[in-house]
Structure 1
Amino acid sequence: MEKITLTADKLVENLVGQYGDAATARFLLNCLQQIKVLPEEASNGLLDNSGVKTADPRLYGNFRTDVRNTLEVYWDSVACGEMHGELPIMLDIGGGKGEGDGFRKGTKYIVLDFDPDDPSAINLQHDLNKPLPFEDKEISFIYSNQVLEHIEKPWLLAQEIGRVLKPGGVAFISTVFAYRYHPYPRDYWRFTHEGLAKLLTEYACLKTAYCKYELTHRRDDRRGALSSPDEVHIDWLGGFRENWFVYFIGFKEA
């Protein structure tokens, strides 16, 4: 595969040309930096079209916190000022007990999930296998981290994402390609980055801004947590050794 190398400034220029929005392009660049796809210094950043591999896979760290911190800056400086005259709705699909509290700053942050054991822990209790409880074109930003693999029919959720997202809205979706079995409460699917893009462009009708993979652990003895329902049975082979995650950022065209 031919490799395309872009400086960070050139990447922003290309995104502005494609979407006509410098603020959104800069936000995407920040997201790429936060998940270690680009180095912290944007002027020296490189984007490799053949796929993403961090210099040290263990730099993966707390992905949710990294992205949350980036989005705080984005919503403060852009969404609540230049881009929107009203408080934008930030929808965290499958956000559990609201780990993304940082999203509350500058947005109407809504966690959509289902926890029968603690219904008070989630903003809005909802079965994600059913239509989303929002009007058409109501949501400004959709975030979903490691959820799609648990959805019985992910193409239906993709259709719902496309329905509720505003024109010009952004969706940031991550899921797994190679990972151990982890039912919450079920574990149905695995996606390549190309498969994830295909799902969201065809069923959600989003336009791809970014879709890559990241290898976080390889040939590493990952055995899970003893208290976790996805605990891996330990035998002489050890634990699960391949951990690949895929990421998609897309827009609903205005």
Structure 2
Amino acid sequence: MLEIRDIHTSYGKIAALKGVSLDIADGGLTCLLGPNGAGKTTLIWTIAGILKARAGSMKLDGEEIAGLRAPQIVGKGIVTVPENRLVFPEMTVRDNLIAGSFSRRKDKGGVARDLEEVLERFPRLRERANQDAGTLSGGEQQMLAVGRALMARPKILLMDEPSTGLAPIIVEEIFQIIGQLRDEGKTIFLVEQNAHMALDYADHFYLLEQGHVTFGGVPGEVDHDELIQRAYLGARKAS
């Protein structure tokens, strides 16, 4: 669905992405792993149009989208669940969700149906629909961030570190939600530090180091590569 070829992105004179190429397959969960500072969030922001690539190509279903502004990218169906949730704290849960549908605000009937579907998917958001988002727990805010993104009817869901700052039991719940979305056929590009959890759900993964993709494959291949396991994922505990 999304083909990324030789993308270069810089912060001033500092190169963050140095020729990144990867594919995000339709209807699957593609995971990007790598150490802090590797450029993972930079890639998310570049795909989302928040940062402009200095060179390279990004094609969505064959259409070049590199250089489009962030609202245009959303209009094409690429929607981000940002790191640290970034919900609107002084707006209600309901209004946060409706804000996610800004690109299709003329479709009032469709927005109303999608709002009901999101509240059905996340019962705790229904219970707190009239509360300010800033009063929610971290896990509830993450659910809200996912629900807000779904309100845009994304073709591709970009998820940046959804487990950040959450208790382990909540992380498991969030990944169950991600797995449900994948099983429903949603296309997901997941950036995640919790490599073991991410690989349990991923269909394909890439490793990013110092702005370069250094490996790509399916999760089962990781267990057969001691170097990659030690360098990026840590040693698994013996069972």
TM-score with structure 1 setting the length: 0.33
Higher relative contact order (CA 8 A, sep 6+): 2
TM-score with structure 2 setting the length: 0.35
Bigger helix share? 2
